[in-house]
Amino acid sequence: MKLAVLTERRNGETRVAATPETVKKYIGMGLEVAVEAGAGLASGFTDAAYAEAGAILAPNAAAALAGANIILKVRAPLGTGEGAVDELSLIPRGALLIGTLGADAAAAGTYAGLGLDACSMELAPRITRAQSMDVLSSQANLAGYRAVIEGAGAYDKGFPMMMTAAGTVPAANAFIMGAGVAGLQAIATARRLGGRVSATDVRPAAKEEIKSLGASFVGYEDEESKAAQTAGGYAKQLSAEFYAKQAEVVAAHIAKQDVVVCTALVQGRKAPTLVTAAMVAAMKPGSVIVDIASDAGGNCALTKPGELFVTENGVKILGYTNWAGRLPAAASALYARNLLTFLSTFWDKDAKAPKLPEDDDIVKGVTLTRGGAVVHPSMKPAA
């Protein structure tokens, strides 16, 4: 059975879906592994390292995919007109495609039409068994860390308090918006750098988590916020009235901040706007806003996805996309282990092939298509 690892061709994608470490383990499971030449270079993994691990180096995508039974990707494969290589047309019918596919109903329908069994790993349920396969958490951890590091780099004063013979430099005031995985890592990182850290989140459980990391909690609380968390641990979309009241509390606080890190995302939707243009206008020159949610439009009204933008009043807004990909070696290593854990968990050692039980909660959560049909409940309109 052949497993293929492709070079990621989407703009700004620096990660790779398998590392030499995981390649070696796939081969130990009985798989033949083909890695497209150059697939790991952006993450610091050379072709020689893959060859040493036992992979076959393929000169291009077509060679890597020829006869492949399993395809590992970071992002969804390119289709007709999306790039120089139509990856989808090269994938053999009946193959198992695994990645963070970001699929909608139309994309799921395309996979079904091509006869692919597609698994979109960002849909994995938030249950204990799936923690080591949770690509969102592994990548969000790194994104939260990187956001604070880049925010500190863009801030034109020191992050910690520094007492010198020439005077004292006060500690930076850092405000983290959203206390999910990325936000909690951002809080911890800002604290380690010596900042005075505060944070906000609409979920009631987040208040104690924020305080446990040594940050102060800022936010509006009412009856609606008590039910602001899904069963999977994500923040729910709340009413416009709640966000208006939350904005009043945040507006007064944000004007005093030096570095603001926005991390609030709602699964499958545009990111909510938490920092308005008026809030930005009230901030001090030299302040920095780091918007991790820029991939989904951004939490700041003035964010320009993919860019660093300086406002008229001198506030720097870092709207870079693919924040985890700004640490490509670490992000690829964690992502590759997530995929390895998924495959090895559902691996038939005797048949040396994947076995994905249809009644398993994890399998049901991530499987978009099977046997030429759309099977995921939220994607079925495309069937």
Q: Which of 26, 50, 111, 137 is catalytic?
A: 137
The token pair that represents 344 in the structure block: 């090895």
Clarify whether 350 is annotated catalytic.
no
Clarify whether 131 is annotated catalytic.
yes
Q: Which of 117, 134, 258, 291 is catalytic?
A: 134
DSSP code per residue over 286-323: T-EEEEGGGGGT-SBTT--TTSEEE-TTS-EEE--S-S
The helix or strand, by DSSP H or E, that contains position 340, with its residue range, turns out to be helix 328-345
Clarify whether 257 is annotated catalytic.
no
Clarify whether 378 is annotated catalytic.
no
Using DSSP, state whether 75 is helix, strand or coil.
strand
The token pair that represents 243 in the structure block: 């966000």
Alpha carbons 304 and 233: distance in angstroms, whole number: 29
Q: Which of 126, 220, 243, 360 is catalytic?
A: 126
| Residues facing 96 on adjacent strands | 70, 117
Per DSSP (E only), the strands in 178-255 are: 196-200, 216-217
Question: Does the CA dihedral 97-100-104-105 come out positive or negative?
Answer: positive
Alpha carbons 33 and 336: distance in angstroms, whole number: 14
Question: Does the CA dihedral 348-363-106-301 come out positive or negative?
Answer: negative
Q: Which of 89, 131, 216, 378 is catalytic?
A: 131
Residue 55 per-residue DSSP state: P
Parallel, antiparallel or unpaired: strands 70-75 and 96-100: parallel
Of the candidates 181, 158, 150, 100, the one whose C-alpha atom is nearest the C-alpha of residue 291 is 150
Q: Which of 191, 234, 243, 267 is catalytic?
A: 234
Using DSSP, state whether 209 is helix, strand or coil.
helix
Clarify whether 234 is annotated catalytic.
yes
**Polymer length of the chain:** 383
CB 156 within 8 A of CB 111: no
| Residues recognised as catalytic | 126, 131, 134, 137, 234
